[in-house]
Chains A and B, each alone.
Chain A
Amino acid sequence: MSQLIYNTFDYEVQPPRLAPDYKSTVLRAPSKPLVVVKQSLSELTGPVFGDFNLGEFDHDLTKNSIKNGEPMGERIVVHGKVMNENGRPIPNTLIEIWQANAAGRYVHKVDQHDAPLDPNFLGAGRCMTDSEGNYRFYTIKPGAYPWGNHPNAWRPNHIHFSLFGANITNRLVTQMYFPGDPLLQYDPIFLGVPPKGRELLISTFDLSITEPNFALGYRFDFVLRGHQATPFENV
Chain B
Amino acid sequence: MLQTPSQTVGPYFAYGLTPEQYLYDFKSLSNNELAKPLDEANVVMVVGKVFDGNGDVIPDAMIEIWDTQHQRFGRFGTGTDPQNRFIFHTFKPTSVDGQAPHLSVIVFMRGQLIHSYTRIYFEDEAELNAQDEILNAVPTDRRNTLIASKNAAGYEFNIYMQGENETVFFEI
Contact = CB atoms under 8 A, between A and B. Distances in A.
B168 interface: yes
Contacts of B142: 32
A138 interface: no
A124 B19 contact: yes
A55 interface: yes
Interface stretch (A42-50, A178-186, A208-216): A42-50
Interface in A1-52: 7-10, 12-17, 19, 22, 24-32, 34-43, 45-47, 49, 52
A39 B172 contact: yes
Contacts of A38: 133-134
Interface in A77-94: 83-87, 94
Given A26-B53, A28-B112, A30-B166, A124 B24 contact: yes
The residue in A46, A173, A226 that gathers the most chain B C-beta atoms within 10 A of its C-beta is A173
Given A98-B13, A124-B19, A174-B7, A17 B2 contact: no
Interface string A176-207: 00000000000001101110111011000000
A29 B107 CA distance: 11
B87 interface: no
B117 A168 contact: yes
A193 B13 CA distance: 20
A12 B14 CA distance: 30
A227 interface: no
Main DSSP-derived SS at the B contact region:
loop
B50 to A, nearest CB: 9
Nearest to A82: B4
Contacts of B94: none
A14 B114 contact: yes
A160 interface: yes
A233 interface: no
Interface in B27-61: 27, 29-30, 52-54, 56, 58, 60
Chain B interface: which size bin? 35 or more
A24 B172 CA distance: 24
A200 B5 contact: yes
Contacts of B13: 98, 160
B83 interface: no
A10 B6 CA distance: 11
Contacts of A196: 2
Given A22-B113, A25-B111, A42-B66, A35 B5 contact: no
A174 B9 CA distance: 7
A37 B112 contact: no
The residue in A29, A30, A194, A200 that gathers the most chain B C-beta atoms within 10 A of its C-beta is A30
Contacts of A15: 5-7, 113-114
A212 B80 CA distance: 44
Nearest to A83: B1
Contact of A45 (B22, B66, B112, B138): B66
A85 B161 contact: no
Contact of A24 (B2, B111, B114, B169): B111
6 contacts: A9-B171, A28-B53, A30-B167, A31-B166, A34-B169, A94-B29
Given A16-B114, A173-B8, 5 more contacts: A22-B113, A26-B53, A27-B162, A28-B110, A223-B2
